[in-house]
Amino acid sequence: MATIGIVLLLLAIPGGAYAFSRNQLSQGQQFEAAGSYKQALSSYATVGTVAGNPASRVFLGDLADRAQTGTAETHFLWGVQLKLQGKFDDSEAQLRATVNSGIAGWTARGNAALADLFIAWGQSLVATQQFQAGIDKYNRVSAFDPTGNLSVSINAGLSAAYAGYAQWYTENQPPDYPNALIWYEKLIKDFPDSLDAQQAQASAFPQTLYNAALAFTAQLKYQQARDAMSELVQNFPTTTWGTQANAALHANQTLTGQLIVSDQNPTPVANRLVRIATHYQIVKAHTYQDSPPIYSTSTDAKGFFKVSMPPGENYLITWWDPSRSTFVTTFVTDTQPVNLITINPLEPAHTTVATS
């Protein structure tokens, strides 16, 4: 109550209010110059209370305006200092207070400082391998840099973060190549001309593509595996990884199956010769002619068979018919066989073959 009484008394005595406010303003400026920003803000706030209220602003408005400017400047200087100390959260709070001062010049400086803050914050996070958090900070810079003056710095920071994130995934135990691939692909797509992208494409990216394809295969994500291997063959054909990818895409795959009597009678057909022809032609209704290469195997006691063969489309499956002493197959129409199988690269296949 005593403090309130003093303020009311000062308001009643313009000369006293002026002297008090001027003294508080001077103290605030001294604290600010000494880097005692908390005390400076307290002094400026006192001036605002005494000189900035409607009753006294008529004759003390100049002091109130100077205190308001001093407050904005103090928030700015404190925010910059905190940024240099690595206290980024506290720095953001002070710089946002500068922006919210409503003073055009300080609002602009506060926004520029916030842009610098988020770049420094991003750099600090990426340096400690907090890549996603660092990327998030870099992506906030543009909101405070409408003219794009910092776009070069933003792009450099993001490309380094993407490359670092990708490499970090490859160095995990065990390595996480699919996630590494995501960040290498994003790096090359978003910043194709960056040094980080060029260095990645020279070695790390194709190696990651190959290892990611192997991981996709182990995860039964066969189409993603084929896409990665195909990209290697197309874009990096002369590299070790491109050569290995080409070999993998043409490597034999395992075909398993079961020979049964019919769809209605799933009794296994045991100990029967089965063969798969990579080429065939229809010579007349319900009659085919197959040609090499042809892969042969036999069913076991439960009608199961297994054969290793290269990838390809529309291979014809036939089986030995003891009653006719020849290999036969069934037809949907006069010229369309039923038992055709496609062997996809990198992917084992399975089929059920009905003899009738």
100-122: pLDDT as tens digits: 999 999 999 999 999 999 999 99
Q: Is the distance from CB of 49 to CB of 15 less than 8 angstroms?
A: no
Q: How much is the average pLDDT of 246-257?
A: 98
Is the pLDDT reported for residue 7 higher than 60?
A: no
Q: Please list, in sequence order, all residues whose beta carbon lies within 8 angstroms of the beta carbon of residue 98, skipping any fewer than 6 positions away.
A: 72, 73, 75, 76, 79, 106, 107, 109, 110, 113
Q: Is the distance from CB of 350 to CB of 255 less than 8 angstroms?
A: yes
Using 50, 70 and 90 to split pLDDT, how confident is the model at 58?
low
Give the alpha-carbon dihedral of 265, 271, 275, 281, to 10 degrees.
-50
Q: Is the distance from CB of 353 to CB of 317 less than 8 angstroms?
A: yes
Using 50, 70 and 90 to split pLDDT, how confident is the model at 190?
very high
Q: How much is the average pLDDT of 70-98?
A: 97
Terminal-residue alpha carbon distance, the chain:
104
> Which DSSP state fits 259?
E
Using 50, 70 and 90 to split pLDDT, how confident is the model at 134?
very high
pLDDT at 61: 78
The Cα 232–Cα 247 span in angstroms is 11
pLDDT at 2: 47
pLDDT at 50: 84
Q: Please list, in sequence order, all residues whose beta carbon lies within 8 angstroms of the beta carbon of residue 146, skipping any fewer than 6 positions away.
A: none
Residue 272's nearest CA partner among 328, 331, 343 is 328
For residues 312 and 50, the model is more confident at: 312
Is the pLDDT reported for residue 269 higher than 80?
A: yes
Q: How much is the average pLDDT of 11-32?
A: 81
Residue 355's nearest CA partner among 324, 325, 331 is 331
pLDDT at 21: 83
pLDDT at 3: 46
Residue with tokens 């690269």: 345
Secondary structure (3-state) at 344: coil
Share of the chain above pLDDT 90, in %: 87
Question: How is 169-232 classified by DSSP, letter by letter?
Answer: HHTSSS--HHHHHHHHHHHHHH-TTSHHHHHIIIIIHHHHHHHHHHHHHHTT-HHHHHHHHHHH
Worst-scoring range by mean pLDDT, 30-39, 54-63, 80-89? 54-63
Worst-scoring range by mean pLDDT, 14-23, 104-113, 311-320? 14-23
Share of the chain above pLDDT 70, in %: 95
For residues 115 and 14, the model is more confident at: 115
The Cα 298–Cα 321 span in angstroms is 13
Q: Is the distance from CB of 220 to CB of 208 less than 8 angstroms?
A: no
- In the structure encoding, which two tokens stand for residue 321, read together? 């018919």
Q: How much is the average pLDDT of 282-295?
A: 94
Using 50, 70 and 90 to split pLDDT, how confident is the model at 173?
very high
202-242: pLDDT as tens digits: 999 999 999 999 999 999 999 999 999 999 999 999 999 99
Q: Is the distance from CB of 316 to CB of 337 less than 8 angstroms?
A: yes
The Cα 104–Cα 43 span in angstroms is 23
The Cα 155–Cα 84 span in angstroms is 22
Q: How much is the average pLDDT of 83-87?
A: 97
Q: How much is the average pLDDT of 151-158?
A: 97
Average pLDDT for the chain: 93
pLDDT at 47: 86
